[in-house]
Homo-oligomer: A and B are copies of this chain.
Amino acid sequence: MEFESENQEKKNFFTLEMGKITRHVEKIAQEDPRRVIHSLKFGFTLTLVSLLYYLKPLYKTFNISAMWVIITVVVVFEFSVGATIGKGLNRGLATLVACALALGALHLASIPGKTVEPILIGIFIFIQAVASTFIRFLPKVKASYDYGMLIFILTFSLVSISGIRTNEIFKLAHMRLLTIFIGASTSMIVSILVCPVWAGEELHKLVAQNIEKLGNFLEAFADEFSNKSSSSAESQNDRSFISCLNSVLDSKNNEETLANFASWEPGHGHFMYRHPWKQYLKIGNLTRQCACRLETLRGYLNSKIEASEEINGIIQSKLSEMSSESGKALKQLARDIETMTRPFSPNPRIENLKIELKNLKSLLKSNANLLQAIPVAGVASLLIDIAICVENIEEAINQLAS
């Protein structure tokens, strides 16, 4: 009996764990169904190139070199078209240059005679490895050609060192080039033709979404600021605010990667080749600057606002209006980007915002005390906020030391 119940328990535990994993996998798939499509695309491409092993005449030509095709597909096939093209071109060109240079180096080494040859080859490999590794630290190379440099080091070393042991070095270099060409071009073609994921489009959407998030935040802030809701709903809102702002603040790296991939992509949809992707990075930076202000603004929701009735009455409602107007303007801008509307005529929302800004300033002028206090009070409240930040940092550091 006991044994049975233990067995039952184990079974239950197993079903529970399996259920958890299934739900997790389902969530990942539902978040972005293109992940499933990408997996199928990759499986298809890999199976396609393994035909080189299946079909006898093909295998006779390539023999063991066929494995380079498999390796190339596994390494080059990426989620977005831009990443696949970037890696494919890097791999192809680096192999071409490295093969040519290695053959040249082998020829050079063979001139002084058979005894010195291996030593010269060793010296060439060392110098090449040191120089190429250092070049990988140059920021421009690191950003776009890091993978190419890696493949250059790899191919140069492989081809030149094989020169010590085999005389069929031309055939080896030729095979490596051919197989990498087949693998890379198959990956690129499947990536472009079957449900392509364009990095440029992703970047476009990401930038628009980030602006929209800030707009939503400002509108929600306007609501909370004018009529403080109950504390429990507040803290929940606060948490969703934090994660929303954080995702915008942390998007820089993602945007830069996407812009880099996008620069490899041919024209697609609304985007021409050489679309000004750098401008998206500029918009992204400005969006993050704005998000920083919102992050500071969020701090005021938690501080009890205890202004005098006079100030409270008119100004608070004006401020919440201003916040909601900014939010609407941002959301309009996000829509403008998404639909790629050319804002030839001035954006009406921005015009509204400018009027609102003027109104606020004139209202503040009528309340001379407040107007004079604004900059100093702003700095004061920020510095109080910063002091609290510093204490939080100290606490976290103390936890590290304990």
Residues of A with Cβ closer than 8 Å to B?
A: 24-25, 28-29, 35-36, 38-40, 42-44, 46-47, 50, 53-54, 59, 64, 67, 70-71, 74-75, 118, 122, 125-127, 129-131, 133-134, 137-138, 150, 153-154, 157-158, 161-162, 164-165, 211, 218, 225, 249-250, 252-253, 276, 279-280, 282-283, 286-290, 292-297, 299-300, 303, 305-308, 311-312, 315-316, 319, 322-323, 326, 329-330, 333, 336-337, 340-343, 347, 350, 353-354, 356-357, 360-361, 364, 369-370, 372-387, 389-394, 396-402
Q: Are A133 and B383 in contact (CB under 8 A)?
A: no
Q: Are B315 and A54 in contact (CB under 8 A)?
A: no
Q: Are B297 and A386 in contact (CB under 8 A)?
A: yes
Q: A70-B158, A130-B43, A377-B373 are in contact. Are A357 and B249 (CB under 8 A)?
A: no
A74 to B319, alpha carbons, bound, how many Å? Answer: 60
Q: Are B165 and A249 in contact (CB under 8 A)?
A: no
Q: Are A218 and B386 in contact (CB under 8 A)?
A: yes
A294 to B389, alpha carbons, bound, how many Å? Answer: 11
Q: Are A333 and B393 in contact (CB under 8 A)?
A: yes
Q: Are B333 and A394 in contact (CB under 8 A)?
A: yes
**A-B contact list, 11 entries, CB within 8 Å:** A39-B133, A46-B126, A47-B129, A67-B162, A70-B157, A290-B386, A293-B385, A305-B376, A360-B383, A374-B381, A377-B377
Cβ contact of A326, chosen from B154, B303, B312, B383, cutoff 8 A: B383
A358 to B106, alpha carbons, bound, how many Å? Answer: 76
In the complex, how many angstroms separate the beta carbon of A367 from the nearest chain B beta carbon? Answer: 9
Q: Are A370 and B376 in contact (CB under 8 A)?
A: yes
Cβ contact of A342, chosen from B380, B390, B401, cutoff 8 A: B401
Q: Are A377 and B379 in contact (CB under 8 A)?
A: no
Q: A319-B383, A383-B323 are in contact. Are A307 and B375 (CB under 8 A)?
A: yes
A340 to B401, alpha carbons, bound, how many Å? Answer: 8
A397 to B276, alpha carbons, bound, how many Å? Answer: 11
Q: A54-B122, A393-B211 are in contact. Are A380 and B398 (CB under 8 A)?
A: no
Copy number in the complex reads: 2
Closest to A59 in B: B165
Cβ contact of A283, chosen from B35, B290, B386, B393, cutoff 8 A: B393
Q: Which residues of B contact A356 (CB under 8 A)?
A: 387
Q: Are A47 and B393 in contact (CB under 8 A)?
A: no
Q: Are A373 and B375 in contact (CB under 8 A)?
A: no
A377 to B303, alpha carbons, bound, how many Å? Answer: 13
Q: Which residues of B contact A131 (CB under 8 A)?
A: 39
Q: Are A75 and B150 in contact (CB under 8 A)?
A: yes
Q: Which residues of B contact A293 (CB under 8 A)?
A: 296, 299, 382, 385-386, 389
A195 to B366, alpha carbons, bound, how many Å? Answer: 68
Q: Which residues of B contact A386 (CB under 8 A)?
A: 218, 290, 293-294, 297, 323, 326
Cβ contact of A39, chosen from B53, B130, B385, B399, cutoff 8 A: B130
Closest to A389 in B: B290
Q: Are B118 and A54 in contact (CB under 8 A)?
A: yes
Closest to A363 in B: B380
Q: Are A279 and B399 in contact (CB under 8 A)?
A: yes
Q: Which residues of B contact A353 (CB under 8 A)?
A: 387, 390-391
Closest to A151 in B: B74
Q: Are A375 and B303 in contact (CB under 8 A)?
A: yes
Closest to A377 in B: B377
Cβ contact of A47, chosen from B125, B342, B372, B396, cutoff 8 A: B125
Cβ contact of A382, chosen from B137, B250, B296, cutoff 8 A: B296
